[in-house]
Amino acid sequence: MKFIRYAKGQTQYRGILDGSIIRRINGTIFHDYSLSAETENINDIVILPPVLPAKIIGFRKNYNGKKEDIGEPKIFIKPQSSVIAHNENIILPKNQTVNMEGELAVIIGKKAKNVAECHAVQHILGYTIANDVTAPQKEHDLTVTIGKFFDTFTPLGPCIVTDIDISDIMINTYKNGELVQSGSTKDMIFDIMYQISYISHIMTLLPGDIILTGTPNIPVEVQHNDKIDITIDNIGTLTNKCISGQI
């Protein structure tokens, strides 16, 4: 099933996407909802971020290594204000290098506190695509996270998929049509169930919270007018354009 959040006119809705048709729903995707008789064509609406999370937790350097070599996971938090939707613009801060990373994102569906790995799947609503954008600061400095806080630095979408096997799916990132990142989720160092358990022993995860699970390759620098397409098997494509801003 594919959940989508969208606007038509001045009103926001949630729906279930089937091909190019959206079936509107009443209620919340985190609890009970019902199908409406109302439908829309995806070409007649504006896609919104699939959720507005209370918090976004990301994993750094989570591919192509061994747990015993890494030690403890390296995590960071991004604010809700960094979230934008499919087809919205990434605003590049002036006079700073900016990198992007294509990632699989997990949407939490049920409150999670001190969850065992074997029960973590019960707390997942579904999955979407994320672009973890960063303006790198001083390496080996706590200010490295500041570069992740900018507005527009977490594109998400276009939808939430609830019923896919994510153990071995491809994440492909294109810059201006050229493949610049490619890898499979099977190469994660800390898998998704471990990630949920690990975070839930530090902080409570709430419905709508997002985990950025890491990128399979090194970050890719972006500049003004670059168009970024991130495609994940069975989810779709997240597209955003980079433009220079006044930040």
Beta-bridged to residue 134, according to DSSP, are: 99
- Extended beta strands in 120-165, E state: 124-131, 154-161
Where do the domains of the chain lie, and which CATH numbers do they carry? 1-47 (2.30.30), 49-244 (3.90.850.10)
Looking at residue 3, its amino acid is F
CA angle 180, 85, 154 (to 5 degrees): 60
Cα of 147 vs its chain's centroid, Å: 17
Q: How far apart are CA 63 and CA 191, in angstroms?
A: 10
Kindly state the tokens that stand for 152: 């527009």
Q: Which helix (H) or strand (E) holds 68?
A: helix 67-70
Q: Which residues contact 12 (CB under 8 A, 6 or more apart)?
A: 5, 6, 48
What tens-digit pLDDT sequence spans the chain (247 residues)? 999 999 999 999 999 999 999 999 999 999 889 999 999 999 999 999 999 999 999 999 999 877 767 788 999 999 999 999 999 999 999 989 999 999 999 999 999 999 999 999 999 999 999 999 999 876 655 556 789 999 999 999 999 999 999 999 999 999 999 999 999 999 999 999 999 999 999 999 999 999 999 999 999 999 999 999 999 999 999 999 999 986 4
Rounded Cα gap, residues 220 and 171, in angstroms: 14
Partners of 77 in the β-ladder: 57
> In the prediction, which pLDDT does 143 show?
54
Which residues are within 8 A (CB) of 230 and not within 5 positions of it... i.e. 6 or more apart?
102, 103, 129, 130, 131, 171, 172, 173, 174, 237, 238, 239
